[in-house]
């Protein structure tokens, strides 16, 4: 696996932390998730359809526009949705809309 820890399990945990909504439609080959803030769509991503939790999905960091460590921190608790929204500039440091 090398040094890439972005598994499907990590991705799902990070998406759960971001309150991602499953927007998969019937017939879609892959599950699609969308992340909203104040009823605004901020980002979307797709995962691989697999029952294996350890398959790698390194593309998720690009979809979320953060680095590997940020995704890990989302999945493993230090960071939350507000941190992510701040990192993207959606909200400012004092939680106010920019």
Partner 1 sequence: MKSTDSLRGSERPERFWDRDQPQRCVGIEVLRRGSVGNRSLSDAIRDLYIYTLMDRVAKLEDQVNRRSVIVPIQALEPATLTLTQPILSVVQEEDGVFVASFFDANINASGESQLDAVEMLKDIIVSTFRLLTKREAVLGEGPQQQLAVLRQFVRA
Residues of this chain that bind partner 1 (CB under 8 A): 1-4, 23-25, 28-30, 32, 34, 36-37, 39-44, 46, 48, 55-60, 62-63, 65, 88, 90
Burial annotation 68-77 (CB, 10 A radius, 16+ → b, else e): eebbbbbbee
Residue 23 or 80: the one with the smaller Cβ distance to partner 1 is: 23
CB of 69 to partner 1, least distance (A): 15
Nearest CA among 4, 16, 1, 3 for reference residue 76: 16
Residue 47 or 74: the one with the smaller Cβ distance to partner 1 is: 47
């Amino acid at each position: 696996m090398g040094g890439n820890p972005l598994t499907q399990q990590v991705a799902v945990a990070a998406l759960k932390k971001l309150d991602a909504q499953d927007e998969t439609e019937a017939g879609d080959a892959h599950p699609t998730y969308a992340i909203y803030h104040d009823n605004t769509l901020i980002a979307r991503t797709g995962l691989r359809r697999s029952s294996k939790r350890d398959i790698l999905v390194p593309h998720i960091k690009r979809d979320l526009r953060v680095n590997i460590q940020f995704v890990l921190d989302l999945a493993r608790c230090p960071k939350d949705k507000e941190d992510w929204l701040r990192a993207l500039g959606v909200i400012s440091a004092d939680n106010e809309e920019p």
